[in-house]
Structure 1
Amino acid sequence: MTEEQLPTEITKHSFRQKVWDYLMKNDLVNFPLIVYNRIPNFKGAAEAAQRLTELEVFKLAKVIKINPDKPQEPIRFLTLEANMEILVPIPRLRSGLFLHVTPVAGSSKNELRTLSKIHGLTVAGKPLGIDSKIKIDLVVLGSVCVSRDGYRLGKGKGFADLEFAMMMRMGAVTQDTIVVTTVHDCQIFDSLPPEIFKEYDVPVDIIVTPTQTIIVNPKLKKPSCIMWHMLSERRIKSMPVLQQLREMDEKEGKVVTLKEEDSDIETQKTYRSNYVKNKKRFKTKKIVSNDNNIGEEEEKQVKTRFLKKRTFNKVNSKDNNVFSNVAEGKMERNDKNIQQRRKNLKLKSKSQVEFSLKLSNISSGARIRDLKNALLERGIKPNEITWLGHRGICYLHFNKLRKNNDLPDKPIQVDSIMANLQQLCIGVESNENINARDFIIVKPAKPISRIEVTDMTSV
């Protein structure tokens, strides 16, 4: 990007936002089409991967650590095809550090492609802990944007930086280990402000795009250890590998000082959502009591639930568990009211449907969970799904079309969703025999309105 395209606000997020917006506006991404808060799956990722394999540092490598994001999937495939071992970080480091994947001799290209995907890595990969003595020859990272002098910005969660620090602590990498990233040309800035980067940020040594290879010279210094003062107690407890490394450092006599305030970015949304959810369940009343013995007003916060338990009147009879006619009448009326409210909500939900898509030619072996997983992988989030798998069809319902100034998690335009669903195939046991006849057919379930046509032409 040129200087004219630089964001006005100088923060890491502002540069990420600039790149995400540019990629979306200029249709430079493959599915998942929503790039916000992700490593973008840019168009040309396969060409960049092929260019990376031509590097001498790649040809000499035996073990390569590659991030699990979609744009680096072609690199994982080509690495396995070259009979090299790969290490892929376990998502969010929840249950370990790496998955170690070694290609099986005689594997076909289709088998290697399956193995390079997230599901294949999870099934075939063997967990690798911090006690491993493995040596990594090359590190491949995904990026949101980079600069020609080596500064890199990821999606903002900090996992790539933390993984590199752990590898450094294990002795798996050194300052001389080459770090490569593959990006689209538009993700490259001539320079990024050095002041927004910290000592824990991992720089890159080589930048590969579909059209060029950039060798960073001079190289920037890489983080040499885990920055414990940047981590909170809660985050360490959420990652067993961090707990193990902390215990190792303490046994060696090192002073481990953690961050006092838990302000990790990735946790703020969770805490906020829990607070709002709990706040809705309760309301507070302020009671003021005058006590002469105390000599001042005392305020008490009393929490009362919105919903009260239902009670029923009982009658004296031979069976004490028999409800009275009055109570039974109340129960019947309450049930009718509940049913009516549910009916109203259902009608209201249906009335908000903006458009629907019909998916046909669905395999008889497909299940709705297969469809949900496939939609999630492509970044498509319908509001409702009508599943008629026994008839080979289903319907996806979307409530509102997204406008330019809407949040990125809302549905996008009709034609973009339909394009994202092309070559979709579910319920097929093997990918080797898939042909065009197996792909799901996608059509609008109702005529597109005049407004929708206008929106589609503007995309």
Structure 2
Amino acid sequence: MEHALTLSAGCNKWDIRQKVWDYMEHNNLADFPRPVHHRIPNFKGAARACERLTTVQEFQSAETVKINPDAPQKKARFLTLDARKTLLVPTPRLRTGLFNRITPPPGAGKEVLRICSTSQGVKDFSVPLGLDAAVRVDLVVVGSVAVSEKGWRIGKGEGFADMEYAMMVAMGAVTDETVVVTVVHDCQVLNIPEELLEDYDLTVDYILTPTRVIKTGCTRPKPRGIIWSKISRDVMDKIPILKKLQDRERRDGKDVTLKNECDAPTRQTGGSTAAAHRSAQNIKSKPGSTDQKDVTTVYVGNIPPATRVSEFKGVLRERGATPLHLTWQGAQYRAFLDYADPCQAEAVVSSLEGLNLGGQVIRVELARTQRSGRQVFGDRKDSLTPTDK
């Protein structure tokens, strides 16, 4: 089948996401919430695509199904409950745990089950499950921004689906036999280059669209568990359940050293000790307060008002532009990125130049120091401004 979108040579994951989001917005292929940028798109025809799940033999035989809480998977959640299967839904952004089991009230009819399958229903009719819960997941349903007929998948860039699966591997909830399904619009099926995939990327076995069921026959291994060397301390702080899992795997004798954990120095800040330099994957969201003589700062402006800092961080990671520190000023539609040397900062300016976020081309350039010999990180309006401001 001919694909609606073609990819240019040398594209990266972020280019692909942007192309899909732009196409869906331009052709009015999405339902609320809009715009679809930085989201798993809630596409028109999602319910019809989800209905195809009942034709998949592995779903018919499954007892426990884990489904993402995104809007386009709502019908899949209902169908799972209606078939009297156990439904697991991950907790939002993994803040309080891994997933919850949806428990409809006794004798619930279809209307109640429809309520249980909504985001509010997930909050009202669920029971949290811990890492020690004896759970066996037979089938996983995830959302995607783009997917290939070979099974390569690209999410929205925050890595939660990959993380959730890796955590389920670590707790013994999934095996090599566990089937992974994604539900997308036909335009989201693309020829994604395999070289863009990383070891931690989740692949899929079935693709459901409003018009067809695609069995990918994917043989690429799925994540084998948490790759601790790719996890930053910042991520650990944001996802507390990771700490519990790390402690458990440490007791089992596994290497759970975090990214650049061994060589992170410390510094004195206002009389207290703080981490001075974190891994390249660790982006700080608040201004620092120490001497920044050795950094070069990049100014990013014209950031769309709806952009969240977590989404912006994902963009930077995809572009290979992760800074030492990030000062986020979303209310002023701008951010300041600090890099270790001028050459790196100039490379980042080239990498981000022309980047389109949410339908707006961002403005990116080296910031200049207005205070001789030092860049001050308190009020940016007084310290760092774009070169032509």
- Common fold: TM-score over 0.5: yes
Q: Unmatched 5+ residue regions in structure 1? A: 285-298, 300-404, 411-459
Is the alpha carbon distance of 1:117 and 1:262 closer, same or farther for their aligned partners in structure 2, counting shifts above 3 Å? farther
Asked if the contact 1:7–1:15 (Cα under 8 Å) also holds between the matched residues in 2, the reply is: no
Q: Does 1:227 align with 2:227?
A: yes
Is the alpha carbon distance of 1:24 and 1:3 closer, same or farther for their aligned partners in structure 2, counting shifts above 3 Å? closer
Q: Does 1:253 align with 2:203?
A: no
Amino acid corresponding to residue 193 of structure 1 in structure 2? P
- Number of the residue aligned with 1:137: 138
Amino acid corresponding to residue 253 of structure 2 in structure 1? G
Tell me by how many angstroms 1:8 deviates: 5.0
The 1-side partners of 2:158 and 2:165 are apart by: 14
The 1-side partners of 2:43 and 2:84 are apart by: 26
Q: Unmatched 5+ residue regions in structure 2? A: 261-277, 294-354, 361-389
Tell me by how many angstroms 1:5 deviates: 2.5
Give the alignment of 1:14-53 within 5 angstroms: 14-53=15-54
Tell me by how many angstroms 1:220 deviates: 2.0
SS of the residue corresponding to residue 29 of structure 2 reads coil
Tell me by how many angstroms 1:231 deviates: 0.2
The 2-side partners of 1:95 and 1:4 are apart by: 38
The 2-side partners of 1:120 and 1:199 are apart by: 34
Q: CA RMSD, aligned part only?
A: 2.3
The 1-side partners of 2:93 and 2:127 are apart by: 17
Give the alignment of 1:3-82 within 5 angstroms: 5-7=6-8, 9-82=10-83
Is the alpha carbon distance of 1:3 and 1:31 closer, same or farther for their aligned partners in structure 2, counting shifts above 3 Å? closer
Tell me by how many angstroms 1:238 deviates: 2.2
Tell me by how many angstroms 1:407 deviates: 5.3
- Number of the residue aligned with 2:383: none
Amino acid corresponding to residue 58 of structure 1 in structure 2? F
- Number of the residue aligned with 2:279: 262
Asked if the contact 1:142–1:183 (Cα under 8 Å) also holds between the matched residues in 2, the reply is: yes
SS of the residue corresponding to residue 256 of structure 2 reads coil
- Number of the residue aligned with 2:241: 241
SS of the residue corresponding to residue 64 of structure 1 reads strand
Is the alpha carbon distance of 1:407 and 1:16 closer, same or farther for their aligned partners in structure 2, counting shifts above 3 Å? closer
Asked if the contact 1:85–1:103 (Cα under 8 Å) also holds between the matched residues in 2, the reply is: no
SS of the residue corresponding to residue 24 of structure 2 reads helix
Asked if the contact 2:25–2:36 (Cα under 8 Å) also holds between the matched residues in 1, the reply is: yes
How far does the alpha carbon of each residue in 1:235-257 deviate from its partner, in whole angstroms, 9 at most, with x for none?
Answer: 11322210011111111122212
Aligned length: 280
Asked if the contact 1:64–1:138 (Cα under 8 Å) also holds between the matched residues in 2, the reply is: yes
Provide runs of 4+ in structure 1 moved above 4 Å. none
- Number of the residue aligned with 2:198: 198
- Number of the residue aligned with 1:380: none
Tell me by how many angstroms 1:133 deviates: 0.9
The 2-side partners of 1:130 and 1:13 are apart by: 32
The 2-side partners of 1:217 and 1:235 are apart by: 33
Is the alpha carbon distance of 1:78 and 1:250 closer, same or farther for their aligned partners in structure 2, counting shifts above 3 Å? same
The 2-side partners of 1:61 and 1:172 are apart by: 14
Asked if the contact 1:169–1:225 (Cα under 8 Å) also holds between the matched residues in 2, the reply is: yes
Tell me by how many angstroms 1:150 deviates: 0.6
The 2-side partners of 1:136 and 1:407 are apart by: 36
Asked if the contact 1:99–1:122 (Cα under 8 Å) also holds between the matched residues in 2, the reply is: no
Amino acid corresponding to residue 223 of structure 1 in structure 2? P
How far does the alpha carbon of each residue in 1:157-178 deviate from its partner, in whole angstroms, 9 at most, with x for none?
Answer: 0011011011001110001100
Tell me by how many angstroms 1:218 deviates: 4.1
- Number of the residue aligned with 1:401: none
Give the alignment of 1:420-435 within 5 angstroms: none
Tell me by how many angstroms 1:120 deviates: 1.1
**TM-score after normalising by structure 2:** 0.68
The 1-side partners of 2:234 and 2:85 are apart by: 37
**Higher mean Cα deviation, 3-12 or 225-234?**
3-12
Identity over aligned pairs, percent:
45
Tell me by how many angstroms 1:7 deviates: 3.7
Q: Comparing both chains, which one has the higher relative contact order based on Cα–Cα distances under 8 Å and sequence gaps of 6 or more?
A: 2
Q: Does 1:208 align with 2:158?
A: no
